[in-house]
Amino acid sequence: MPHNHNDVLTKYVQTFIETLLQNGVEDVVISPGSRSTPMALVFAQYPSLNLYINVDERSAGFFALGIAKAKKKPAVLLCTSGTAAANYYPAIVEARYARVPLIVLTADRPHELREVGAPQAIHQVDMYGKHVKLSIDMAVPDSSEALLHYTKGAAARGYATALKAPSGPVHFNFPFREPLVPNKISPNETKKGTKNVLLGDGRTLSPNAKDELIGLLTLKEKGIIVCGPNISERDIPYLLHFADQWGFPILADPLSQFRCGEHAKDLIIDEYDAFLRIPELRPVLQPDLVIRFGAMPVSKALTTFISSNEVDYVVIEPGEEWQDPTGRVNHMVYTSDQEFSRSILPSIKREKQWTSTWRQYNDNSKTSIDAFYDNIEWEEGKVVKTLLDVIPTDATLFVSNSMPIRDVDTFLSKTDKSLKVLANRGANGIDGVVSSALGVSTVYQRTYLLIGDLAFFHDLNGLLAAKSYDLNITIIVLNNNGGGIFSYLPQSSEEEYFEKLFGTPTDLDFSHIAALYKGHYELIDNIRDLSQCIQANNEKQGLSIIEVKTNRAVNTETHRKMWNFVSQEIKKQL
Amino acid sequence: MPHNHNDVLTKYVQTFIETLLQNGVEDVVISPGSRSTPMALVFAQYPSLNLYINVDERSAGFFALGIAKAKKKPAVLLCTSGTAAANYYPAIVEARYARVPLIVLTADRPHELREVGAPQAIHQVDMYGKHVKLSIDMAVPDSSEALLHYTKGAAARGYATALKAPSGPVHFNFPFREPLVPNKISPNETKKGTKNVLLGDGRTLSPNAKDELIGLLTLKEKGIIVCGPNISERDIPYLLHFADQWGFPILADPLSQFRCGEHAKDLIIDEYDAFLRIPELRPVLQPDLVIRFGAMPVSKALTTFISSNEVDYVVIEPGEEWQDPTGRVNHMVYTSDQEFSRSILPSIKREKQWTSTWRQYNDNSKTSIDAFYDNIEWEEGKVVKTLLDVIPTDATLFVSNSMPIRDVDTFLSKTDKSLKVLANRGANGIDGVVSSALGVSTVYQRTYLLIGDLAFFHDLNGLLAAKSYDLNITIIVLNNNGGGIFSYLPQSSEEEYFEKLFGTPTDLDFSHIAALYKGHYELIDNIRDLSQCIQANNEKQGLSIIEVKTNRAVNTETHRKMWNFVSQEIKKQL
């Protein structure tokens, strides 16, 4: 990566502009100014671009609007900082309501010159209010590679958002630090597909987009399908058929609902969080294509695996978002899961060799994990594994964030049980989990909540609803007296401050809480009692709190040993 | 009040415009349009106003900016709805950073025509973002008198905000419903003081403002001073001197800190919440002037008393706000409490007849309340009264919102104790009260919290801090099993739904909470035990929870009887 100012600036601006051009931008209207110099000079080096100069930004705005209205595709506006940007406002408002796609680029001072009385420094962040469909205050150029990926994604997203029905204006504010003159570039206007946004109307795909996608998939032999949370259960058969036809395995997140139920599960990979941690496996399983349905999966091992390879990465987005924290997505397809999986199919059904390889490592991982836990008496993973074994087939399991959802990811193996697994993965918070599970319990008869002591403490007040409305819920509190997840992170070695700042033990006796809310309460410290208690609990009504005491240090140590054991077992096969 | 459309529209627009003119507006720049017709036609009827027409709103904006820059006082801009308003943006941005006072009036569609595809209907609310000092989306004109008071206040506030250092633009968005043509008016440009904003720089007052205020006060014989929350204790001596010199009584809110301490208290009125409920007293105590220091007081009886009379109402505002929910303030003085009370003094000290009248009713109310409660065995008011009697002199009392702060208002009588009384009166919520009191307890040694059961429940989790940091606090929980304050409101007669929707009993046994957080706990049901318990508690360390069980119906009934008794006693004197 470049580190000198001019190289960094040039690369950053070129990446953004080239992605716009690769997505289809043909016209740019520039109003002269100093702060916008990096973009103006890079734009000027693309011979095929129609470049117009207009000194009055208000006129420039309406001129670009005319182009975009006639072409029905985004035109770009570029101006310098200050009132120049305010002069675009009338054209932006008109574009918003006339549904004309515009990409507005305003140059700005860097952060150290904002709100300190610098000349031409005004409030440019979100300055067009609700009149733009998207407003992004970009980063000051720097040399991080992640930023370049982000910049590509932002440009592609801006183009798609401006164009997607209803079309309209989008705004990018670019802070630039001096000196502002970029290097000469080697323009590349023709390379396609670095960030390819294929538009649907949210449901149907255009024939062109279909052809392009089928063409792309046909070239790939080692595709993997990632199914995250938020996939409709009605679409499961279509996605299974899609995977079967292409011969791609489905890496199924615990919240995808693909792991449980009576559907065929031969293509489902559920132990990836264990075996994708093994670096030696990567060459064997290296995909050339990733197709993601649903939101980001829980597994960090999976996210890292996908991000670390130069593959084509396709995301199906039924909404309006750009869900790609990896910055690696290069085909964002705005359509429904069902439309995609029903219409993007190969002409001939594929062989299964590639999926067999995946299944082999998956099966071995499962065997290794089971073997490892046969020798463990008592530990949080063992508790979760046992719970998933004995939970009734028609249960709904609400899983708290932090460690519980990770443990469920590790220990929830494919099963014909019709177990439903839910969690709050919108923002992954540990707040409100008790209340959300209680809300769920008003709808599903047998609701279980698996939660750590900190999240349970956080929403103790939520338990009043259980008492007020006589709700039926079994709450398994994994009480390791504090924040268990932090023990897995680098800060756990900061012994002097760790317990105070991260461990945060509360030393609370939750039996008082059960008494306060008139719930059943049991304190469990061995697996046999746990099994019996959960099975006995199936018949109970009302609020049941099962407090399971575990030890943070033992949990961390056992998990590490388990991953090592799996790794050794898998490596024997290589 | 007028009820026909044209009369209502005309009165509303005239009130706003006339207040602007009375405050000092001399220049208006109008860009022609339809939706702005009501304002344009009313503006045109003031012969002394300089009225300019400019068809291009961008030019109009910069033209008005030139006038305001030269005169150093606000010029007014008026345009119709739609992109017209967006054309002001460049001049508004310039005015913001050049600190030029502008009053921008944009006409808008009424709510039923917003975001439904009506022509020229755009997002005008807050459309200039952070580039205006104040942005108000005004109400659609209607015939309520409160709205006219509000309109006056808004215009005065807009003028003052635009002018106050640093000067800058303010924005009023006016939704108008058709028909848009107002009536002929009788312009009144000269009447002063309907909404008179006297500017200081936040601390000092100009000589002109001082002369005007001294002139105003000199004409008044029946002034009252209201001291609300948020007055600095350092300023108490200056305010006492001010009251003494003018011969005005001080109606002191329990959070003003005027009721407790060793300062002279002969001018302090503390029982007003009881005797201002008596309609027959109003003619006797009718003021001709109200001067308020600090925020709005707790007492609704006081607020109603002030709002119901046509008096001159002066508010001293040391910040940037416009704190007047009554809409009756007609002199907003932007200065510090100390500057006002030190510099606005009479040439000769006044007689005390007027204050004696107030004190007489105050003393009689106190005697009556005491006499009434001598015969009450057990009730929430009695509990609060007793607590205030036995609480140690150097205590800090944190008071929860809802009923506790109202009871403290009623029962906290003037005392030489140095008791400090605190509450969360920024937004008057019942959330976070336990945590705020615990925060206070890290600063003050003897902290007491008086709180109802719902507010206590709401912040139960906050108690963890008491345990984690070994904080010393005594919490008196007034447990009437639900929302006591609602019993005093009209909805309490809705028997079928009342308990479910408002009473909301939680039926919780708080001894479990004391056990959970390892606090002392006592359940009290008689006054003698309460006295002893609070006195014994002075020596205790750590968390103490004193749960006081009361009965909502008895509380409401007793309070009503008490007010009736006071009323009868007071009326005997008349």
Phi, psi angles (nearest 5°) of residue A382? -60, -40
Interface residue of A31, A83, A453 to substitute, partner B, most B CBs within 10 Å:
A83
- CA angle A419/A420/A424 to nearest 5° reads 145
Report pLDDT digits (tens) over A516-535: 999 999 999 999 999 999 98
Question: pLDDT digits over B429-467, tens only?
Answer: 999 999 999 999 999 989 999 999 999 999 999 999 999
Instruction: Tell me whether B509 touches chain A (CB under 8 Å).
Output: yes
Would you state the pLDDT for residue B327? 87
Which chain B residue's Cα is nearest to A518? B508
pLDDT at B193 > cutoff 60: no
* Residue numbers in A near B466 (CB within 8 A): none
In this complex, do B93 and A82 lie within 8 Å of one another by their Cβ atoms? yes
| Residue from the list A89, A468, A512 with its beta carbon closest to the beta carbon of B512 | A512
Residue B430 CA to residue B379 CA, distance in Å, equals: 22
Shortest distance, CA A111 to any CA of chain B (angstroms): 16
Report the distance separating Cα B428 and Cα B399, nearest Å. Answer: 11
Of chain A, the percentage scoring pLDDT greater than 90 comes to 83
Count of C-beta atoms within a 10 Å radius of residue B560: 11
Across the interface, whether the CB atoms of A89 and B93 are under 8 A apart is answered no
pLDDT for the residue A539: 76
Q: Determine whether the interchain pair B461/A464 forms a contact, defined as Cβ–Cβ distance below 8 Å.
A: no
Q: Are A156 and A197 in contact (CB under 8 A)?
A: yes
Cα(first)–Cα(last) distance of chain A, in Å?
35
pTM: 0.92
Only one residue has tokens 């005093």, namely: B488
CA distance A441 to B394: 50
Q: Determine the straight-line distance between the first and last CA of chain B, rounded to whole angstroms.
A: 35
Contact status, residue A412 vs residue A387, Cβ threshold 8 Å: no
Separation of alpha carbons A263 and B343, rounded Å: 84
Question: Would residue A513 be called left, alpha or beta, if left means φ above 0 and alpha means ψ between -120 and 50 degrees?
Answer: alpha
Inspect the interface and report whether the beta carbons of A515 and B513 lie closer than 8 Å.
Answer: no
Output DSSP code: residue A503: I
| A295 contacts A229 by C-beta, under 8 angstroms | yes
Specify the pLDDT at position B201: 65
Residue B202 has pLDDT above 80, yes or no: no
Residue A35 DSSP SS3: coil
| A115 has a chain B CB within 8 A of its CB | no
Helix (H, G, I), strand (E, B) or coil at A52: strand
B179 upstream amide cis, omega within 30 of 0? yes
Q: Which amino acid is at A62?
A: F
Concatenated DSSP letters of A535-561: HHHTT--SEEEEEEE--HHHHHHHHHH
Q: Which two tokens mark A8?
A: 């960094």
Cis before A175 (ω within 30): no
Query: What's residue B75's pLDDT?
Result: 98
Tokens 């490892």 -> residue: A372
Residue A509 forms contact with B (CB below 8 Å): yes
Listing from the earlier edge strand, what are the strands of the sheet with A312-316? A196-199, A331-334, A312-316, A289-293, A223-227, A250-252, A268-269
Residue whose C-alpha is closest to residue B299's, from B425, B153, B147: B425
Q: Mean pLDDT of successive 10-residue segments in chain A (574 residues)?
A: 86 95 95 96 95 96 96 96 96 96 97 88 95 97 90 93 93 96 85 70 83 95 96 96 98 97 96 96 94 96 88 91 89 94 96 94 97 96 97 96 96 96 94 96 94 96 95 96 83 80 88 96 96 86 95 94 96 89
- State the average pLDDT for chain A: 93
Cβ atoms of A274 and A266 closer than 8 Å: no
Does B82 contact A92 at a Cβ distance shorter than 8 Å?
no
The pLDDT of residue B493: 80
Quick one: closest CA in B to A515, which residue? B512
Look at strands A268-269 and B420-423 and give their pairing.
Answer: unpaired
Q: What's residue B257's pLDDT? A: 96
Q: How confident is the model at residue B194 (pLDDT cuts 50, 70, 90)?
A: low
Cis-peptide, bond into residue A166, ω within 30° of zero: yes
Contact between A89 and B87 using a beta-carbon 8 Å cutoff = yes
B117 vs B122: CA distance, rounded Å = 9
User: Looking at residue A200, what DSSP letter applies?
Assistant: B
User: Where does the pLDDT of residue B179 fall: very low under 50, low under 70, confident under 90, or very high at 90 and above?
Assistant: very high
Q: Which phi and psi angles does A543 have, rounded to 5°?
A: -90, 125
Which residue ranges form the domains of chain B, and what is each CATH number? 5-175 (3.40.50.970), 196-360 (3.40.50.1220), 376-569 (3.40.50.970)
Strands (E), B117-168: 134-137
Residue A516 contacts B where some CB pair is shorter than 8 Å: yes
pLDDT beyond 60 at B427: yes
- Between CA A87 and CA A60 the distance in angstroms is 9
Contacts of B100 in chain A (CB under 8 A): none
Question: A307-326: buried (b, 16+ CB within 10 Å) or exposed (e) per residue?
Answer: beeebbbbbbbbeeebbbeb
For the cut 70, the answer to whether the pLDDT of residue B372 exceeds it is yes
- Of B36, B48, B73, B76, the closest CA to residue B60 belongs to B76
- Residues of B within 8 A of A92 (CB-CB) are 86
- The pLDDT mean for chain B works out to 93
DSSP letters for B473-509? EEEEEEE-SS-GGGGGSGGGG-HHHHIIIII------
Q: What share of chain A is helix, strand, coil (3-state, %, to 5)?
A: 45, 15, 40
Q: Is B521 in the A-facing interface, judged by CB distances under 8 Å?
A: no
Closest listed residue to residue A129, CA positions, set B127, B178, B77: B127
Query: Which of A83, A458, A516 has the CB atom closest to B90's CB atom?
Result: A83
Whether chain B has a CB inside 8 Å of the CB on A122: the answer is: yes
Contact B93 A512 (CB under 8 A): no
User: Are A83 and B93 inside 8 Å of each other by CB?
Assistant: yes
Q: Does B144 touch chain A (CB under 8 A)?
A: no
Enumerate the residues of chain A whose CB falls inside 8 A of the CB of residue B86: 89-90, 92-93
What per-residue confidence (pLDDT) applies to A287?
96
**CB < 8 Å to A458, chain B:** 461
| Nearest CB to B516 within list A97, A458, A508 | A508
CA distance A324 to A160: 15
Report helix angle A380-390 to A403-411, nearest 10: 60
Q: Is residue A527 less than 8 Å (CB to CB) from chain B?
A: no
Q: What is the pLDDT of residues A194-204, one digit of tens each?
A: 677 877 766 78
Taking the CB of residue A341, how many other CB atoms lie within 10 A of it?
25
Residues 75-94 of chain B whose Cβ lies under 8 A from any Cβ of chain A: 82-83, 86-87, 89-90, 92-94
pLDDT tens digits along B462-509: 999 999 999 999 999 999 998 878 888 888 887 778 888 887 888 999
Query: What is the DSSP-derived secondary structure letter of residue A179?
Result: P
pLDDT at residue number B143: 87
- Over range B239-260, report the average pLDDT: 98
A121 in Cβ contact with A114 (< 8 Å): yes
pLDDT of the residue at A190? 65
Which residue carries 């268990």 as its tokens?
A: A484
Phi, psi values for residue A566, rounded to 5°: -60, -45
- B395 versus A536: the higher-pLDDT residue is B395
Contact A240, A250 (CB under 8 A): yes
The arithmetic mean of pLDDT across residues B257-286, rounded, is: 96
Chain B interface mutation, best of A89, A116, A125, A130, highest count of B Cβ atoms under 10 Å: A89
